[in-house]
């Protein structure tokens, strides 16, 4: 079943998007960026499933128009292959 992107929540700020990325992609654990955001200890399957249910999947369909600063969102991420994942 394909779900319209309009049925998912849009990201309102950088920290919200950063938390979603940290929940679904491993790497960079414990690092603090120059923007003061701390990377979660590790990606978590339950948290990632919540992200998918809230914002949709795959991530190229995420609504990020209100996020104006995307610097270093994927810094240090080593597990970044969403090709095998199934859209909710």
* Cα separation, 80 vs 58, whole angstroms: 12
Going by pLDDT thresholds of 50, 70 and 90, the confidence category of residue 28 is low
pLDDT of residue 1: 38
| Per-residue pLDDT reduced to its tens digit, 45-55 | 888 899 999 99
pTM: 0.71
Q: Where are the alpha helices (DSSP H) in the chain?
A: 14-24, 45-55
pLDDT digits (tens, 9 = 90+) for 39-75: 555 677 888 899 999 999 888 899 999 999 998 888 7
């Amino acid at each position: 079943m394909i779900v319209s992107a309009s049925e998912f929540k849009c990201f309102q700020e950088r920290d919200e998007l950063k938390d979603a990325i940290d929940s679904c992609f491993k790497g960079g654990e414990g690092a603090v960026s120059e923007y003061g955001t701390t990377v979660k200890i590790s990606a978590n399957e339950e948290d990632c499933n919540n992200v998918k249910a809230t914002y949709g999947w795959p991530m190229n369909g995420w609504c990020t128009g209100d996020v104006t600063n995307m610097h270093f969102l994927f810094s240090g991420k080593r597990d970044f292959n969403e090709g095998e994942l199934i859209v909710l």
